[in-house]
């Protein structure tokens, strides 16, 4: 099995935790904080795995996007709306590339986008 892990640049640890852990329901799998080095961490929610990197020199490179296929998109969307979104509330909509796929997109405080998608009937 091939696994691809997106790396999202972050500028603030507390904002990242509030967004990914407290709101989206990810968990912190591990953190690497080398002496005088940038934070690098892995967060996950089920089979969705992201790396978050706070590299000072690359803060201007924020703005990545990842698409995650999920089961239970409607329940996930409803749950996110009930948890007081820290950003504009995500919309549930059909994708532009297929009328049989629904999506909801969230954008973190650093401009990175995570799109959750699910095939529907």
Higher pLDDT, 27 or 3: 27
Quickly tell me which residue has 């532009």 as its tokens. Answer: 96
Higher pLDDT, 88 or 32: 32
Of 36 and 32, more confident = 32
Written as six digits, the tokens of 4 are 């691809």
pTM: 0.82
The two three-digit tokens of residue 51, written as one number = 């790396």
**Exposed e or buried b per residue across 55-72, where buried means at least 16 C-beta atoms within 10 angstroms of its C-beta:** eeeeeeeeebebebebee
Q: What does the alpha-carbon distance between residue 116 and residue 104 come to, in Å, rounded to a whole number?
A: 5
pLDDT digits (tens, 9 = 90+) for 67-96: 899 999 999 999 999 988 787 889 999 988
Would you say 55 and 9 are in contact if contact means Cβ atoms under 8 Å apart? Answer: yes
What gap in Å lies between CA 99 and CA 8, rounded to an integer? 29
């Amino acid at each position: 099995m091939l696994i691809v892990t997106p790396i999202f640049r972050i500028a603030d640890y507390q904002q990242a935790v509030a967004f990914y852990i407290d709101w989206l329901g990810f968990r912190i799998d591990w953190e690497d904080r080398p002496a005088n080095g940038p934070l690098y961490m892995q967060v996950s929610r089920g089979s969705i795995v992201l790396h978050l990197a706070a590299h000072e020199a690359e803060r201007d490179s924020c703005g990545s996007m990842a698409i995650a296929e999920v089961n239970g998109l409607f329940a996930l969307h409803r749950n996110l709306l009930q948890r007081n979104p820290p950003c504009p509330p995500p919309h549930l909509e059909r994708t532009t590339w297929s009328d049989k796929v629904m999506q909801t997109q969230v954008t973190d405080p650093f401009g990175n986008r995570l799109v959750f998608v699910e095939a529907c009937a």
